[in-house]
Amino acid sequence: MNAVELTRELVRIDTINPVSPERPCAERVGRLLENAGFAVAKYEFAPGRTSLVARRAGSGPALCFAGHLDTVPLGAAQWKHEPFGGELSGGNLYGRGSSDMKSGIAAMVAAAVELAHKPLRKGLTLVLVAGEETGCEGAAHLARTHGALGEAGAMIVGEPTGNAPVIGHKGALWLRARTRGITAHGSMPEKGENAVVKAARAVLALSEFRFHATPDPLLGGPTLNVGTFHGGLNVNSVPDEASIGIDIRTIPAVRHAELRRELERYLGPDVELTPLVDLEGVRTAEEDPFVHAVREAVAAVTGERSAPGAATYFTDASVLTPAYGGIPTVVLGPGEMALCHQTDEYCRVQRVEQAVAAYVEIARAWCGA
Ligand SMILES: [Zn+2]
């Protein structure tokens, strides 16, 4: 199977989240995997929002290839290249999702098809999900659907890394903090209770909040930013409600549930916290044998041997890695990190071909082909 042609075909299927559901794209790759001997199960978290899990059984924990089928919208700027054309030009393949991450999906499917007639000792699973771009909805749905994911012992996430292994990314915990008060006429503030003042105290307290976690050598330390502040409706009333938006980027040493409890104690009973996004960070040890195997496979294919890096974005691994019991996870994909979500997004054709070869090597090493 030609992974470049498959990438073009998938780019031509509009899967902009949430307006263009993933089902046609899931059906296309599902058929290819079924023909290659995989047992394919589809799951929808909403009508048309199809994720699929394709499994080839073996003895021992499977290797999992994971990716998402949805893309972000096109943005306001005019594209020079047709966004759903899959146009090839100057060694590049253009279109929405070409880097993030239909080239990764195509390379994973092509690798699975290439291994179809080879005996594998351990299993191989592909988890191709809907709804990643809006907060890993498809992955979360699979994780809470009993038996959907099966078992796996290691995972590759095909998000764009330019074929360089990435062994960690931060998590995101976005919270809305709400304060409440009692409204009164602005000329008699002593009769009310000012919610804006309570929120302001909370913001000042947050600006002095210190994390206890030891910084990660690759990811650094956790951070906290107050991104929004809203309160009050009219100048001559005591405001009875205010809210602030808090963006916390965590490292895997920080457990979100514990952090939320700590913040609740720290801010006191005047402040109510509600999570808006809750995705934990992911980090695999550089010394892990799976990381070593991935680096060897990449070096054999590309001739490049770079130290494993970290990504700035979060991925479905925030959901899937813990769902699989904290398995070693490497993000490795043919797309270009810098081109995600951009106008005139493209991927390099050569990297798509290299990714297929690297995925085949990684599967051989893990599954014992
Ligand atoms: Zn992505």
What is the secondary structure of 283-303 as a DSSP string? E--TT-HHHHHHHHHHHHHHS
Determine the angle formed by the axes of helices 103-114 and 349-367, rounding to 10 degrees. 50
CA of 92 to the centre of ligand 1 (A): 19
CA of 166 to the centre of ligand 1 (A): 14
pTM tops 0.85, yes or no: yes
350-364 pLDDT, tens digit per residue, is: 999 999 999 999 999
Give the pLDDT of residue 340: 87
The CATH code that applies to domain 171-279 is 3.30.70.360
CA of 241 to the centre of ligand 1 (A): 37
| Fold classified for 3-169+282-367 | Aminopeptidase (3.40.630)
CA of 68 to the centre of ligand 1 (A): 7
CA of 91 to the centre of ligand 1 (A): 22
269-312 pLDDT, tens digit per residue, is: 999 999 999 999 999 999 999 999 999 999 999 998 889 999 98
Q: How confident is the model at residue 313 (pLDDT cuts 50, 70, 90)?
A: confident
CA of 104 to the centre of ligand 1 (A): 9
Give the pLDDT of residue 369: 73
Domain ranges in the chain?
3-169+282-367, 171-279
CA of 189 to the centre of ligand 1 (A): 50
Tell me the β-bridge partners of 329.
155
Domain 3-169+282-367 shares a fold with domain 171-279:
no
Determine the angle formed by the axes of helices 349-367 and 289-302, rounding to 10 degrees. 140
70-118 pLDDT, tens digit per residue, is: 999 999 999 999 999 999 999 999 999 999 999 999 999 999 999 998 9
Of 122, 150, 13, 126, the closest CA to residue 367 belongs to 122
Q: What are the phi and psi torsion angles at 329 (to 5°)?
A: -135, 130
